[in-house]
Amino acid sequence: MSSPVKTVDAPCAHCGEYQHETLWSGSEHEYDNTTDESFAFVRCSSCGTVRLNPRPDVSELGSPPGFAQRIKIRMYQRRLLALLDRLGKEGTIRLLDVGCADGRLLNWYKDSSAGDRIETHGIELSEKAADAARSHGHRVVTGRFEVDRELEPGSFDLILAYHVIEHVDDPVAFATRAAELLVPGGLFVAATPNIDSVDVKRFRAHWGGNHFPRHWTLYDPETIERLARQIGLRVERIEYQTNPIFWVWTCHSWLRGRFPERRWPDRAFPTVGIFHASPLSFVLLSIFTTVDIVLRAITGKTGSMAAEMRKPPTAGSAPP
């Protein structure tokens, strides 16, 4: 493990309250070159939003190792086509991918059956990754989305932020920026961990969605809808998605907690290796995708959700 990270005692990003109830604490177990410090998730005493506190300072944002999720192309393309149907707009769609990395998802979208209708844009922290995305023909700016002023307000039909909002220090500013950039009637889709799920209640500090210390704010359907109302958007739909990676990390954390001196949990549930193609990765991802599908059928929810938030079709009108 490396040296301790710089942390801050942060108030709730939604209401500014410092008072809170500690839910659980845990430490890094997924990467071996970050930190072995303990971090706690707390629930705001005023509005109920869950946050990491103390959490890493924003100066630490560039320090975690980069990693890429191996996601099946067809699944993302199907999701995009369904979103375009619900968006209900004819003609060219201006799409913004927040945290676009090297443009991999944008490439997949352009390769879909709707690719000729999509004008692809992105914003990315890493200049190197942004350059890679630009090399594929995407329009990409660099910087933190919540403080960006380069992108033009009211210019995007669809804004996608897949597992980004839980990483930022000011999720209200993040979502507000998305609302500003949308055209009237546009959609902002925020995929994020769901703290109101069976696996959270069962595993708590060992839940893979904790992702200590990278996830700073955790939502459930109630708090994500409250966020949408706060920024003038309306949640039209919440899709509970499969996320087998969370289950791999959950099992690893749970087993490491019970067998701290043993190394076999690292081999059985590889926290970094799961992103690389291998027979073990295929088996684990297949099993835990099935687990999520079954849990969704039984409980209606999974540990990961995507909230679709629409901007009122008439500028300045309030969402119902």
- The tens digit of pLDDT for each residue in 259-315 reads 999 999 999 999 999 988 889 998 999 999 999 999 999 999 999 999 999 999 975
Q: How many domains does the chain have?
A: 2
Q: What is the pTM of this model?
A: 0.85
| Whether 230 and 252 share a structural domain | no
Q: Read off the amino acid at residue 135.
A: S
Q: What is the pLDDT of residue 4?
A: 67
15 assigned to some structural domain = no
- Judge whether 58 lies within some domain: no
pLDDT of residue 66: 35
Question: Residue 314, Cα to own-chain centre: how many angstroms?
Answer: 29
- Whether the pLDDT of residue 211 is over 80: the answer is yes
Q: 83 with 135, same domain?
A: yes
Assigned domain for 62 exists: no
Report if residue 252 sits inside a domain: yes
Q: How far, in Å, CA of 209 to CA of 162, rounded?
A: 14
* 270 & 127 share domain: no
The reply to whether 102 and 175 lie within a common domain is yes
Transcribe 153-213 into DSSP letters: TT-EEEEEEET-GGGSS-HHHHHHHHHHHEEEEEEEEEEEEBSSSHHHHHHGGG-GGGTTT
Q: Domain for residue 145, yes or no?
A: yes
The whole domain housing 285 covers 244-299
- 45 lies in some domain: no
Which tens digit of pLDDT belongs to each residue from 125-173? 999 999 999 999 999 999 999 999 999 999 999 999 999 999 999 999 9
Predicted confidence (pLDDT) per residue in 5-21, tens digit? 788 998 998 999 999 99
Position 316 in a domain: no
Q: Tell me: the pLDDT tens digits for 91-116?
A: 999 999 999 999 999 999 999 999 99
